[in-house]
Chain A
């Protein structure tokens, strides 16, 4: 069963911030939120993950609500190369190896 819900698609203008929502209302206390993306025909690429505090790295920021039932991935200045399918995944610290359940994700199209 899917643990996350994401919109199937969204558009974003180049240079603007892209805010990608993810609902994970059944998340449990030991589960992290991971974000990956997959550019066409390439392998998935790790972006960021977090537990309850907001996280930022060179690629993106992750904002997790206080109740942890949803999160938002922020690409601060979207470029055409950010066009990809973005996956939000929840995974516990004790989950079995390899059980990253990739759902359908959000197809993000960045337009000029």
Chain B
């Protein structure tokens, strides 16, 4: 299994509080991604990174920010959590961003509940 860890694995927080989720990889892969998974919506891309300090928005980026100061770490921040952000969050990594060998490997997920 790819060396990807996510922390915390579970979190319960209150509306309006800031939350930061961490993704850590030991594979030295250049590309990292944050997805959320909700019933009826499948996996949806929030933000992704194509290198240290290089990030871009995905399809559901509103209310989220990211940072990547080191190759191995990709942080997802909810500046002011809302109940609509209750979800399971998955981090993924890939060696390349496009081309034939850009399969993504996923972390174990973080279950976030916003009350």
Q: Are the C-beta atoms of B98 and A96 separated by less than 8 Å?
A: yes
Taking Cβ atoms with an 8 Å cutoff, the residues of A that contact B are 32, 34, 41-46, 49, 51, 91-100, 102-105
Are A103 and B42 touching (Cβ within 8 A)?
A: yes
Sampled A-B contacts (22; CB under 8 Å): A41-B109, A42-B108, A43-B106, A43-B108, A43-B109, A44-B104, A45-B106, A46-B105, A49-B100, A91-B102, A93-B100, A94-B98, A97-B31, A97-B98, A98-B31, A98-B33, A99-B45, A100-B45, A100-B104, A102-B42, A103-B42, A105-B42
Rounded to whole Å, the gap between the CB of B96 and the closest CB of chain A is 9
| B residues at A contact (CB < 8 Å) | 4, 31, 33, 42-43, 45, 48, 50, 56, 58, 90, 92, 97-100, 102-109
| Chain A proximity of B66: nearest CB distance (Å) | 12
Residues of the B chain whose Cβ atoms lie less than 8 Å from the Cβ of A32: 100
Given contacts A42-B108, A94-B98, contact A104 B103 (CB under 8 A): no
Chain B nearest CB, measured from A47 CB (Å): 9
B61: shortest Cβ distance to chain A, in Å?
11
Complex: chain B residue closest to A100, CB-CB: B104
Among B31, B43, B58, B106, the most chain A Cβ lie within 10 Å of the Cβ of B43
Chain B residues with CB under 8 Å of A44's CB are 43, 90, 92, 104, 106
Q: With a CB–CB cut-off of 8 A, which chain A residues contact B4?
A: 43
